[in-house]
Amino acid sequence: MCYIAIVFIIIYFKEVKKGKYMGVCNMKITVSLIKADVGGWPGHVRVHPRLIEAAKKKLSEAKNNGIIIDYHVFNAGDDLQLLMTHRKGTDSPEIHELAWNTFKEATQVAKKLKLYGAGQDLLSETFSGNLKGMGPGIAEMEFEERPSEPIVVFAADKTEPGAFNLPIFRIFADPFNTAGLVISPTMNLGFKFSIMDVYEGNIIDLNSPEEMYYILALIGQPGRFVIKYVYSRKEEIGIAAAVSTDRLNLIAGKYVGKDDPVAIIRGQHGLPAIGEITEPFAFPHLVAGWMRGSHHGPLMPVPLKYSQCTRFDGPPRIVGLGFQLAEGHLIGPVDLFDDPAFDLARKKANEIADYLRRHGPFEPHRLSAEEMEYTALPQVLDKIKNRWRKVAPKAKKAWAFGSLTD
């Protein structure tokens, strides 16, 4: 009898390692959205179908081996997007290594096809246990799956993580956007915003509505202060949104392409409705990025079929996919911006693009001097640096907000 019990325990833990019966040990679901630009076709326009095929094959093997529960592979412009569900928690070395190896295999395909910038977002040769600081963008969240669990994943191209600041704020703090903040007894408790200073590497938690003005004082400077997480202040609901915040130029120390952020948002039943989540994108607000990561442009909401940046490598695009979770399985997607209700937003984005393009190399179409320091422009100005002549005293300059660690 003792021998039989030992054999059963050994078999059980082998199955747990494969991913079976994991619900007994950990009922929480983790949703991971990890992206990288590993080769554009042509130039920086979109992802080649063979890269998507390679990624699907790799993730299918991982699903069959019990590493992940489910997956969905798609593109936002020239960025390869890996959406995965599993029970291994956030920052899992196993999941991050799976994504890394998937991007490496897709890079090999890109090199064979001589695609542009093959492997450009992979800033290291070898995986070191975690993808943070290695180039790929990551948005992850772990939570108890509710009886009905809708999620929306957003992926943007030709812009930076701060592009999500305005829409995320409107979703979770603006009653003119989200009616639930007024009429839902759960939602009018408010939300907690975790905001990251991407220059100092610090994070601060601020509560809405009572600290709304502090929140706006920070996130109104999206090049530096970026919303990382949003949490419901009703504790049993937990995390509501997660955004990738990696700035490639700050990691690499030089311009290697725009960051092209991703986000995951949970909806309904004490959280914003799907329509409240998509509503902010009906306004194509200005974001940094576009051509060579050096220009401001309107963020255009598009269906997957239009997720290709062609006009001046833009204008910046965002796609939104809706899923229902069922024991970690992804039911969907619904292409949320494949809807004539967003036609006016796209028309307005094109009008804004026309207006800005007429400025050519001048601000405000071109980024401010501080932002241009992290593009290729300094290499151009270096060629004429010895031709300056002193004619007036040097002006004093202070970085906006100074150092928040002082």
Indicate left, alpha or beta for 212 from its phi (over 0: left) and psi (-120 to 50: alpha).
alpha
Task: Identify whether 374 is a catalytic site residue.
Answer: no
Q: Which two tokens stand for residue 201?
A: 């590497």
Q: Residue-wise over 161-191: b if at least 16 C-beta within 10 A, else e?
A: bbbbbbbbbbbbbbeebbebbeebeebebbb
Q: Which two tokens stand for residue 44?
A: 């920086």
Maximum distance among all alpha carbons in the chain? 94
| Cβ–Cβ < 8 Å for 150, 274 | yes
Between the two ends of the chain, the Cα-to-Cα distance in Å is 66
Distance CA 69, CA 66 (A): 7
Dihedral angle at the C-alpha atoms of 226, 231, 232, 237, nearest 10 degrees? 150
Catalytic residue, candidates 255, 260, 313, 374: 255
Task: Identify whether 157 is a catalytic site residue.
Answer: no
Catalytic residue, candidates 35, 158, 228, 258: 258
Which has the closest alpha carbon to 40: 71, 11, 80? Answer: 80
Catalytic residue, candidates 37, 70, 246, 313: 37
Q: Residue-wise over 51-75: b if at least 16 C-beta within 10 A, else e?
A: bbebbeebbeebbeebbbbbbbbbb
Which has the closest alpha carbon to 262: 151, 157, 124? Answer: 157
Q: Where do the DSSP E strands lie in 41-118?
A: 70-76, 79-86
DSSP assignment of 231-247, as one string? EESSTTT-EEEEE----
Task: Identify whether 174 is a catalytic site residue.
Answer: no
Q: Which two tokens stand for residue 21?
A: 């019966």
Kindly list the catalytic residues. Answer: 37, 255, 258
